[in-house]
Amino acid sequence: MRLNVAILAGGKGSRIGLDKGFLELNGRMFAEILLERFDGCNVVFVCRDKKQAETYRTKFNCNTIIDTVKEFSPLAGIHSALEHFRDYVLIVAVDMPLVRRELAEFLYRKARGYDALIPRWSDGKLEPLLACYSYTAVKEIEQCITRGVRKVSKPFENLKTLYYPIERLRVFDEKLISFVNVNTPKDLEMVRCLSTGTEDL
Ligand SMILES: Nc1nc2c(ncn2[C@@H]2O[C@H](COP(=O)(O)OP(=O)(O)OP(=O)(O)O)[C@@H](O)[C@H]2O)c(=O)[nH]1
């Protein structure tokens, strides 16, 4: 399936002190790993500004777009991605290098007919940065941005959203490592351990 994939890379990475796309796992940068993982898909990196986009294009030979609203939140990146594709978009954070392609493809297929599909843990916690959004959500997102609402999941409270139980995704990813994201040096160590012995990483 030819997915539309938008990789959010516009964060500051202040807790780890580096653009998270440049972090390395088994000698490859996260951005490279994700580009390869979604080989054959329509992939864009959503960057915070022209300078970052230029760096990504030079370093990774990839397509880039820029946040519609500067220094807002990942919601601006999602908005920008929807305006770019004007269709369904799988959103992946650049700090999730262990995402499984099969799981992502399932989310993309399952989102048909909804404004959004957001994976949800049994305790209610959401994973809006490994989720699928429809262009039909764009107006609601704009309204939130205009009101200064930065919370990514907020616009979807008023839309036709499928909150998909994450436990059911174990068929694609037994340990659910797809959802592990790297914020700190300790997280990076954990991801390096998890990737040991994992196929295709
Ligand atoms: N395009 C875009 N991506 C963002 C923005 N803010 C965060 N992200 C991305 O969203 C994901 C989660 O970001 P966070 O971990 O919450 O924030 P961060 O700024 O990357 O890191 P910290 O500065 O340590 O909080 C990462 O992939 C970021 O690159 C934004 O304003 N625009």
* Each residue's pLDDT tens digit, 136-170: 999 999 999 999 999 999 999 989 999 999 999 99
Q: What is the pLDDT of residue 201?
A: 54
| Domain ranges, residue 43 | 4-195
Let me know: does 186 contact 180? Beta carbons within 8 Å.
no
Pick from 46, 173, 26: nearest CA to 104: 173
Burial class (CB in 10 A: 0-12, 13-18, 19+), 180: middle
Three-state DSSP class for residue 112: coil
Task: State the residue for tokens 């000698």.
Answer: 27
Report the chain's mean pLDDT, rounded to a whole number: 96
Does residue 20 have a known ligand-binding role?
yes
Q: Specify the ligand 1 atom closest to the Cα of 96.
A: 27
Cα torsion through 127, 129, 135, 138, rounded to 10: 90
Q: What is the pLDDT of residue 36?
A: 98
Residue 201 located in a structural domain: no
Q: What is the pLDDT of residue 1?
A: 73
Let me know: does 131 contact 117? Beta carbons within 8 Å.
yes
Mutate to test the pocket of ligand 1, among 5, 7, 12 (most ligand atoms within 8 A of CB): 12
Q: Phi and psi dihedrals of 111, rounded to 5?
A: -75, -15
Q: Model's pTM, two decimal places?
A: 0.96
What residue owns the CA closest to ligand 1's atom 20? 11
Tell me how far the alpha carbon of residue 179 lies from the centroid of ligand 1, in angstroms. Answer: 15
What residue owns the CA closest to ligand 1's atom 27? 93
Q: What is the pLDDT of residue 196?
A: 82
Three-state SS across 35-61? HHHCCCCEEEEEECCHHHHHHHHHHHC
Residue 89 located in a structural domain: yes
39-94 tens-digit pLDDT: 999 999 999 999 999 999 999 999 999 998 999 999 999 999 999 999 999 999 99
Q: What is the pLDDT of residue 150?
A: 96
**Alpha-carbon span 63 to 162, nearest angstrom:** 29
Residue 46 CB less than 6 A away from ligand 1 = yes
Residue 148 located in a structural domain: yes
Residue 200 located in a structural domain: no
pLDDT at residue 199 greater than cutoff 90? no
pLDDT at residue 198 greater than cutoff 90? no
Residue 21 CB less than 6 A away from ligand 1 = no
80-108 tens-digit pLDDT: 999 999 999 999 999 999 999 999 999 99
**Alpha-carbon span 159 to 136, nearest angstrom:** 9
1-54 tens-digit pLDDT: 789 999 999 999 999 999 999 999 999 999 999 999 999 999 999 999 999 999
Tell me how far the alpha carbon of residue 74 lies from the centroid of ligand 1, in angstroms. Answer: 6
R_g of the chain computed on alpha carbons: 16
* Domains identified in the chain, total number: 1
Residue 19 CB less than 6 A away from ligand 1 = no
Does residue 9 have a known ligand-binding role?
yes
Q: Any idea what the CATH number is for the domain that residue 182 is in? A: 3.90.550.10
Q: How confident is the model at residue 200 (pLDDT cuts 50, 70, 90)?
A: low
Tell me how far the alpha carbon of residue 53 lies from the centroid of ligand 1, in angstroms. Answer: 15
Tell me how far the alpha carbon of residue 77 lies from the centroid of ligand 1, in angstroms. Answer: 9
125-137 tens-digit pLDDT: 999 999 999 999 9
